[in-house]
Structure 1
Amino acid sequence: MQRWSRHIVLGCISIFALTLMSAALTGCNTVEGVGKDVKAAGGALEDAADGDD
């Protein structure tokens, strides 16, 4: 019985770790996209301030 419960615990930990890693990778892609958007908006603001249309 103890061996069976150990496998369940290890399986749950593995699933949790995979879920956490997937969320982290998704978050990295999202932050990268936001960074590109902010950079583009900053460039547009600079162009507007300089009078370059």
Structure 2
Amino acid sequence: MKRFAFLALALIAAMQLTACNTMQGLGKDIKKGGEAIERAAN
């Protein structure tokens, strides 16, 4: 399960980095990705 979560986070981060133009936006994108993983884990 941990391996799946890590791979999912890496994939989300890679997709978000391509759409993010600022460091502030990057932080928001990472937060949203983490929230999505938490929802999937529950």
**Normalised by the size of structure 2, how large is the TM-score?**
0.49
* More helix per residue: 1
**Which is higher, the Rg of structure 1 or of structure 2?**
1
